[in-house]
Amino acid sequence: MASHFIVLTLTLTTILFLAPSAFSQSAPAPGPAGPINLTDILVKGGQYTLLLRLLNETQVLIQLNNQLNNSNQGMTLLAPTDNAFNNLPAGTLNNLNNENKVKLALLHVLPKYYSMEDFTTVSNPVQTQAGGNKGSLGLNFTAGPGNQVNVSSGVVETRISNPLRQQFPFAVYSIDKVLLFASEAPAPESSSTKPDGKAAKAPSSPAADGGDSPSTNGGGRTMDLGVGLVGSIVMFCMAIL
C-alpha cells in the first residue's frame, strides 16, 4: 500500500515536471517495457472513475488493450474527467442502448498515436474508432493561440488539456467534456447496415460497475447520467435543418 502510494506520488511529480516540456518536444523518453496498462494510467490519473466504468462496462477496455498490443500505428485516447461525465445532462448515458454506449466510448479513441503537436497539423476530420461501416464519426481538431488544441465532435467542443501520457505508441489526453455524437439518435435502427461495434454484444451486467474505485460504489452515479442526450440531439438536428 505504502509503496503504491510512493509510486503514485513519484509518477505525479514526474508528470508535473515533464508536462510543460512534453508540449514542445515530441517524444520524451523510451517507453517502459512490457504492455501498457490503460487501467493503471487512468487510475493513477485520479479523476477517470466514470470513464473507466464506461470502458469496462462496454468491454471497450479489453478491446483497447488488445489493440494497443497489436497496433503499429499506436493509439490515442481522449479521456473525459469525472466532472465531464457528471456535467452531462441527467440521464444521458442511461438513455443510450449498449451499442450506442460502445459508440460513445469509441468516439474518444483514435486508432493512431497523436502527439499534441500532431493535432495542430492533422487534417480534419480525424477518424475515430466509432466509425462503423456507415462512414465515420470523426472529430475535428483546431489549433488556437499558444499550444491550445480544441476538439469537436460537431455537437460538443472542448479544449484538450494535459496529457496523462504522451509517448508512442499511446497518448492519453484529459478533456473536460464528454464528446457526444449527433448522427446516432437512440432510435430503433431503420438503416440496413448494422454498426460493427465488436464489443456491442457485451452482456451488460450491473455488477460490472464499481470495480476498482474506492470512492464511488455501485452503479448509482452512472444511473444518474442520462436523459439529456436526446435533447441535445434533437436540438442539434433542428439546428441543421
Q: Which residues bind ligand NAG (CB under 6 A)?
A: 35, 37, 39-40, 43, 52-53, 56, 69, 124-125, 138-140, 142, 144, 150, 152-154, 157-159, 208, 211-212
Count of C-beta atoms within a 10 Å radius of residue 187: 9
**C-alpha distances in Å from residue 41, one per residue of 61, 212, 228:** 12, 13, 30
- Closest CB 159 distance from ligand NAG, rounded Å: 5
Residue nearest to ligand NAG (CB): 211
- Closest CB 219 distance from ligand NAG, rounded Å: 11
- Closest CB 234 distance from ligand NAG, rounded Å: 18
Q: Is 188 helix (H, G, I), strand (E, B) or coil?
A: coil
Count of C-beta atoms within a 10 Å radius of residue 146: 7
Nearer to ligand NAG, 97 or 150 (CB): 150
Q: How far is CA 182 from the centre of its chain?
A: 17
Count of C-beta atoms within a 10 Å radius of residue 204: 12
Strand 170-175 versus strand 75-80 pairing type: parallel
Nearer to ligand NAG, 138 or 195 (CB): 138
Burial pattern 162-177, b for ≥16 Cβ within 10 A else e, equals bbbbbbebbbbbbbeb
- Closest CB 215 distance from ligand NAG, rounded Å: 12
- Closest CB 90 distance from ligand NAG, rounded Å: 21
Nearer to ligand NAG, 139 or 171 (CB): 139
Nearer to ligand NAG, 30 or 35 (CB): 35
Nearer to ligand NAG, 192 or 218 (CB): 218
